[in-house]
Amino acid sequence: MAKSKILIVDDDENIAELISLYLMKECFETEIAYDGEKALELVQSFNPDLILLDLMLPGIDGYTVCQKIRQTRQTPIIILSAKGEVFDKVLGLKMGADDYIMKPFDTNELVARVEAVLRRSTTSILAEPDITAKPEKPDFERSGQYVEYDNLIINISNYIVTFEGNVIDMPPKELELLYFMASKPNQVFTREQLLNQLWGYDFMGDTRTVDVHIKRLREKLNDAKYNWSIATVWRVGYKFEVR
């Protein structure tokens, strides 16, 4: 069987060569590009099976490289970046990336992610195509660790909340609070328990912080018509209620 070809795009030579070393050890064939322009050239000449793409590149940045590749190819792309804000992750995934790995990363995890994305890609290619079907967007909401209820998906791996088919703009702490409660449906938590779990024991604020976050979640998720809700337990705290 032919070796899978991996294109590594990173302006840090040490990181790029380290990744290449580990991938070659796992019997992958690799090429390295240190800038966006060279990456686009190698996409054509090397024809990789998967691309590891840094965002902060000289010249053409990683976002633009990803967009240009997606105009003509469906080659799997895994973004490697030190930018860990939710906005950066969501933007990368929306532009067509298949996965997002934060730097610094464990090399064993990186290899495992590469293999997993390649398996999904191979399965997709082997499946008999339906020429009448419209192309579907990658199901980022259901990749990684998530919980799902009626018209609601909370993904803690990608930090994405989808409600009624739309991605909801949600700060990290709101999302973490929602995921924590939704992953333990019908379990009642005091405000103190939620503060300690999500903000830490050394948090200097008070329990009203939880109330404010719950209020904002309710404003964003109009749950009246579904079988789940963020319920108040009088004089105790809150729970993610599933009826």
**Tell me: the pLDDT tens digits for 41-60?**
999 999 999 999 998 888 88
Asked whether the predicted pLDDT for residue 139 surpasses 60, the reply is: no
Asked whether the predicted pLDDT for residue 34 surpasses 90, the reply is: yes
pLDDT digits (tens, 9 = 90+) for 74-94: 889 998 888 766 666 777 777
Domain that holds residue 162: 144-242
Of the residues 93, 126, 159, the one at which a domain ends:
126
Least confident of 178-182, 196-200, 227-231: 196-200
β-pairing, 237-242 vs 228-233, is antiparallel
Same domain, 163 and 65: no
Average pLDDT, integer, range 190-214: 81
Whether residue 136 lies inside any domain: the answer is no
Same domain, 151 and 109: no
Of the residues 97, 126, 155, the one at which a domain ends:
126
CATH number where 49 lies: 3.40.50.2300
Please answer whether residues 57 and 32 qualify as being in contact, where contact means their C-beta atoms are separated by less than 8 angstroms.
no
> Distance between CA 159 and CA 180 in Å, rounded?
13
Question: How many domains is the chain partitioned into structurally?
Answer: 2
Same domain, 117 and 152: no
Percent of the chain residues past pLDDT 70, beyond the cut: 84
Instruction: Report the candidate in 32, 72, 24, 70 with the shortest Cα–Cα distance to residue 54.
Output: 32
Same domain, 76 and 179: no
In the chain the beta strands, taken as DSSP E runs, fall at: 5-9, 29-33, 50-54, 77-81, 99-102, 146-149, 152-155, 160-163, 166-168, 189-190, 228-233, 237-242
Same domain, 111 and 176: no
Residues near 225 by Cβ (< 8 Å), separated by ≥ 6? none
Determine which helix (DSSP H) or strand (DSSP E) holds 134, and give its type and residue range.
none
Same domain, 31 and 114: yes
CATH number where 212 lies: 1.10.10.10
pLDDT band at residue 201 under the 50/70/90 scheme: low
Same domain, 120 and 15: yes
Please answer whether residues 174 and 216 qualify as being in contact, where contact means their C-beta atoms are separated by less than 8 angstroms.
yes
Percent of the chain residues past pLDDT 90, beyond the cut: 36
Asked whether the predicted pLDDT for residue 237 surpasses 90, the reply is: yes
